Amino acid sequence: MTAGVKTIIYPVKDIERAKALFTALLETEPYADEPYYVGFKDGGQDVGLDPSGPSKGLTGAVPYWHVDDIRARLAALVAAGAEVQQDVQDVGGGRLIAAVKDGQGNFVGLLQDPPA
């Protein structure tokens, strides 16, 4: 079971230009503003900008499904024919992410937050 798509990450080549664009779109300043990640919150949605995304092979926005057991869900997606694009990685504070590419070339992200 998932908690739905609550996060979308955009791979960006120019983080400053992307930050300006999303600041204008969302009419808010980012809650996280680092050289390696810029994050916005809008209407319960987390929108992130990842300057390392293009080097990971990401070519478009990746929706992240929030799950309880990221490793089990990743294994299930691989068993169903997905190709791992980014293995499970801790991105800080115990938050885990991973991404796969389906048979159509679409990226699907997984995100697991640490226990409360």
Q: 93: helix, coil or strand?
A: coil
- Confidence at residue 58, expressed as pLDDT on a 0 to 100 scale: 82
**So what's the pLDDT on residue 116?**
80
pLDDT band for position 64 (cuts 50, 70, 90): very high
User: How would you classify the pairing of strands 62-67 and 2-11?
Assistant: antiparallel
* Full-model pTM: 0.86
d(CA 106, CA 108): 7
pLDDT of residue 57: 82
| Residue 23 pLDDT | 97
pLDDT score of 97 = 95
pLDDT in tens, 26-49: 999 999 999 999 999 998 899 999
pLDDT at 1 over 80: no
Torsion of CA 54, 56, 62, 65, to 10 degrees: -160
The overall average pLDDT reported for the chain is: 93
Domains in the chain, CATH or no CATH each: 2-112 (3.10.180.10)
Query: Would you say residue 68 has pLDDT above 80?
Result: yes
User: What letter does residue 58 receive in the DSSP assignment?
Assistant: -
E strand or H helix at 83, and its extent?
strand 83-90
| Predicted local confidence at residue 104, as pLDDT | 87
